[in-house]
Structure 1
């Protein structure tokens, strides 16, 4: 049996769900989400979760499975996603990974160690306190000053890895290993990595339109319901873009118009970070959707490339 997964990656709003579904249909596949928000229950609108119609076309895993009130980690994602991949293989089908959370993708193609660093280090405690007081971005900026290359490849929200990198930078002039040498590729299966992109103007327009659409669908009411369930701005699940900004509006920090502006701006910034992240993979095959006359034409070329290269 061909133990090879297909990964469809790229920035938010580029169209990953639609393309992953078409790829899965062509390769007898089932989809495993690699999106850090779509896995939560009750968070349907803000996460732009695949619709029920889309999920009916192809079976999805790790969508609408986790209670947002419960803690969830990359390590837990890795375990659940790899279990799902093995389930799909056991059916004689192809696992198709779809999503834009870089750490989740990393956890599936690399042998990543998620064990917690040892406690008791005063420097580490200082950094953890700074993150708690000023936010993860603040500590990430400290890393940028110490080791700009490490900062470029580590997401600000991966606080443990940011702190580890700072510890190494503090005690060594060599910094931490380059991205491509940081992890050993998994031997559990092979993979083909597809990257979807669009011209910047088109992608940003799609992001802005999506935000407007999510608001029309009832994003504010969804977030009110989550707050009524006991979730707060401190909940990990509520720190996603679209949720944290609307919470600020509901808390009276600014009006709805400014909240919408923040969601659009922060989503565009996030998309830029995603593109930077995925461009570091030397084995990714990029397809710029903007260069095709239609989605059907782009899908056809992607399918052809996969058939020729699997």
Structure 2
């Protein structure tokens, strides 16, 4: 894992909503003296408990939870901001000789923790023309068309005005393309 002072065990539980991540994470936290680090792009926001299947207050009392309910819904939060906060939290947990257990369903948050290259290489993202630096200034229709070009099935599932999700999906596609390019460059 990138950015930590030392390499110690780290558990990552990744899965879709309702797949049992919370239950497993709490069992592991109790058994191995662990603390939960949220990796969910919606659970980071206050007040979205039901729509995100967030751990209940009772479940959160079983083990310390981090990076859950830290932002108001109107605040923006990038994957880079997540990675930086999560690395600090994980290092603090490790410094206290506890086991960090990263739990969530947001792939790009977990990818950002595990592979620094995915989010720190802005030059790759920008020079390949999929999304410019000003993607938030582009009209939703333009972004939706880019998504339709790259993933027509997903584009059909999203409303063209859902700019935040469209940008998130486009960035996720870019990251996957970049990972494939990195793997291919290692093979050839």
TM-score by length of 2: 0.71
- Specify the SS of the correspondent of 2:52: coil
Q: Kindly report which structure 2 residues correspond to 1:145-160, keeping only aligned pairs within 5 A, or say none.
A: 157-160=168-171
The structural deviation recorded for 1:56 is: 0.5
1:141 to 2:153 alignment: no
Answer yes or no: is the 8 Å Cα contact 2:17–2:52 preserved in 1.
Answer: no
Give the aligned partner of residue 113 of structure 1.
119
Residue 129 of structure 1 deviates from its aligned partner by: 8.8
Determine helix, strand or coil for the equivalent of 1:105. Answer: helix
Partner residue, 2:13:
8
Q: Provide the residue aligned with 1:178 in structure 2.
A: 180
Cα distance 1:116–1:132, how it changes in 2: closer, same or farther (>3 A)?
farther
**1:17–1:120 Cα change, 3 Å:** closer
Partner of residue 89, structure 1: 94
Conserved? CA contact 2:12–2:103, under 8 Å = yes
Indicate conservation of the 8 Å contact 1:30/1:95, yes or no: yes
3-state DSSP class of the match of 1:46? Answer: helix
Summarize the Cα distance change of 1:99–1:179 in structure 2 as closer, same or farther, 3 Å threshold. farther
Query: With structure 1 as the length reference, what TM-score do the two structures score?
Result: 0.45
C-alpha root-mean-square deviation of aligned residues, in Å? Answer: 3.7
Structure 1: state its 5+ residue gaps. 146-154, 166-174, 185-310
Residue of structure 2 equivalent to 1:216: none
**2:37 touches 2:90 (CA, 8 Å); kept in 1?**
yes
SS of aligned partner of 1:31: strand
- What is the SS of the residue equivalent to 1:113? helix
Instruction: Indicate the SS of the match to 1:140.
Output: helix
Which residue is equivalent to 2:104?
A: 99
- How many residues are paired up? 164
Quick check: 2:67–2:86 contact (8 Å CA) kept in 1? yes
Asked if 2 retains the 8 angstrom alpha-carbon contact of 1:140 and 1:162, the reply is no
**Offset of 1:181 from its aligned partner?**
2.4
Q: Distance in 2 between matches of 1:177 and 1:70?
A: 29
Task: Say which SS state the counterpart of residue 46 (structure 2) adopts.
Answer: coil
Q: Distance in 1 between matches of 2:78 and 2:147?
A: 19
Corresponding position of 1:272: none
The alpha carbon displacement at 1:71 in A equals 1.3
- Residue 25 of structure 1 aligns with which residue? 30
Aligned-partner Cα distance in 1 for 2:129–2:106: 31
Instruction: Compute the displacement of 1:11 (Å).
Output: 1.5
